[in-house]
Structure 1
Amino acid sequence: MMKIASKYGKADFTVKLPRAGITLRGWQTTGTDGPVTLCLHGVLDNCASFDPLREWTPGLGLVAIDLPGHGLSDPISSLTCSYLDYVAAILELLHEQSWDNVRLIGHSMGAALSTLIAGLFPDLVSRLVLIDAIGPMSATPAGLAMTAARYLRAYLADRPQAEYASVEQAVLARVQLADIVTDTAERLVERDLIAVPGGFSWRTDRRLKYPSAPLFSEEQVLEFIRAIRAPTLLVSATRTALVEDFYAGRIAAVQNLRHVRLPGSHHLHMENPRPVSAVIRQFLEEN
């Protein structure tokens, strides 16, 4: 994998959230000026998701966090982990850092969270980049009840995290779980593993492996999306995760959206970072 030599570096980023009672960790670029760009990764990923973007966009002021319960960040203390819990933690982060007019880059679940934040608090977000996702999953009234029950059954039947004899076995499991290439899995696994007697296990909040439980109907999601005022870039993959019929309506609902399709699968920002980083940089640097 090619890397670009740069005078810019990265440093650890840590912030305590007193209301949430947790600490978020991640990285930030160094030697940069200008507006803050906050990067939010997908479910079961971590801030390493945006390492390739940092490597291909020297000079951009990026902050990439491990979302609560991911990587090295503390888990949310509530019994369940809803999208609103994550939104609240991100909003508290923005408050604690005195960040406004922030630029958001989100992949997968991070894109869903970014969509909600930009729709709920449009004055907070100056530019929005969504990678292979737009908005959270939705459900019909009957579907909401069914998925909530399924989630709570998983909560009651909670099982310990899987254990592996070697890092290589954990990487293989991650490849099989998310259909990603080995290099991508290696980047993500490094921050997600913890040593246990006899091998390794996941430090990730195991509630993240429960079946998803949507909170909103599709019409409610569209209301969030219609409220977005920030210029928006949607980067989708040729082998995209945006396969449901409702995504066309979501894309049409954004007031100011540019849609770019690039070669790759759901983790295209990691597996095909050069063109993805180029379109993101161009979008962020536009007047």
Structure 2
Amino acid sequence: MKHTGYSEVHLEFDSKAIAARQWGSVEGERVLALHGWLDNCASFDRLAPMLKGINLVALDMAGHGRSYHRSSDANYNIWEETEDILGAAEALGWRKFSLLAHSRGAIAGMIAAGAFPGRVKRLALIDGLVPPSAEDAQAPDILARAIAQRARYSVVRKPRVYRTFAQAVEARMNGMFPLSAWAAGVLTERGIRPADGGFIWRNDPRLMASSTAKLNGAQVRAFLSRLNMPVRLVLAEGGIEGMIERLHPVLKGHKNITVQVMPGSHHLHMEAGAEGIAAWFGPFLRGEADS
């Protein structure tokens, strides 16, 4: 399967550079797409062409793909993505827009929409909604672990070199969430760069470090309570273990969040599940499903 029909986009704001891909017509509904952890905007190569009538801009999030890496004194805490989401929208000249997001990107999108509900028209989320909450008493250990990991991943060391593109694709196929050869291939194509002896990943190694702080249950509920826009959430039958059960109590009382469980793995939008997602999300993102 080839991936065509997009244009490459370069966005600059606040001395940051975000790379992106754009599908559809500039006259269509404005939608920003946010990928998952250690992925890149090619995550939407299969789904995006199926979403007609939409001006879709899929971002390489900070530290991923061809976008900027945060400075040495900065972190990759999930809520810090909000500034980049709004910055990208401002660079595009978008005041109001919808979000299409997967996994970590879905969590970042929920937080951004909760912080700035007046900017986000609709949320279309794939296998992600809220981060696992932490107890207040865990805060010291969370901070200590994050600082230790940041130090470890900030050390300049020789990255793993893959002698061939095929070896890098194979590694991506067998990662935390197994992928098909095609899905791994498009992510790898954008996610690696040439190096002496072969290829290395572009991702910032510090993405492997845990957050310096995590939201507690009350904070998660506070963000959710501010989602005054319609939300559609696709959960994968074979997705993150325990997610479907974990979200049941979280979703109580949120009548604006509609959930549909679909067959497939965590990256179902990159597999055969893309057709079902497009059929459900397309009218929604175009505003045709508004009641």
Determine if the TM-score, normalized by the shorter chain, exceeds 0.5. Answer: yes
Given that 1:103 and 1:127 are in contact with CA atoms closer than 8 Å, whether structure 2 keeps it comes out as yes
The normalised TM-score by structure 2 is: 0.90
Q: Which residue in the other structure is 1:217 paired with?
A: 216
In structure 2, the partner of 1:140 is 135
SS in 2 for 1:99: coil
Query: Deviation of residue 180 (structure 1)?
Result: 2.0
The separation in 2 between residues aligned to 1:136 and 1:75, in whole angstroms, is: 23
State, as a whole percentage, how many aligned pairs show the same letter: 32
Q: Deviations over 1:216-269 (max 9, x none)?
A: 102211110111001000011111226155422222253401111111011011
Equivalent position SS for 1:184: helix
Who is 1:259 aligned against?
A: 259
Structure 1: which amino acid aligns with 2:31? T
2:116 pairs with 1:101: no
Alignment partner of 1:48: what SS? helix
Structure 2 unaligned regions, length at least 5: none
Contact map agreement 2:76 2:211 (CA 8 A) in 1: no
Question: Which deviations, in whole Å up to 9, do the C-alpha atoms of 1:123-166 show, x marking residues without a partner?
Answer: 11111111001022321123333232222112222253322111
Unmatched tracts of structure 1, length 5 or more: none
Conserved in 2, the CA contact under 8 Å of 1:226 and 1:253?
Answer: no
Number of residue-to-residue matches in the alignment: 281
Q: Distance in 2 between matches of 1:269 and 1:251?
A: 22
Match of 1:13 among 9, 15, 25: 9
- Counterpart in 1 of 2:280? 279
- The aligned residue for residue 47 of structure 1 is 41
How big is each residue's C-alpha offset from its partner over 1:182-224, in whole Å with a ceiling of 9 and x where there is no partner? 2211110100101111111011111112235552102211110
Deviation at 1:46, TM superposition (A): 0.5
Residues 167 and 213 of structure 1, relative CA distance in 2, 3 Å threshold: farther
2:46 maps to amino acid: P
Q: Which amino acid aligns with 1:189?
A: T
Instruction: Tell me the residue number matched to 1:175.
Output: 173
Aligned counterparts of 1:136 and 1:100: Cα–Cα separation in 2: 27
Offset from partner CA, 1:5-44 (integer Å, 9 cap, x none): 9xxx3211111012xx210011112444232111000010
Contact in 2 for aligned 1:52/1:270 (Cα 8 Å): yes
Question: What is the alpha-carbon root mean square deviation over aligned residues?
Answer: 2.0
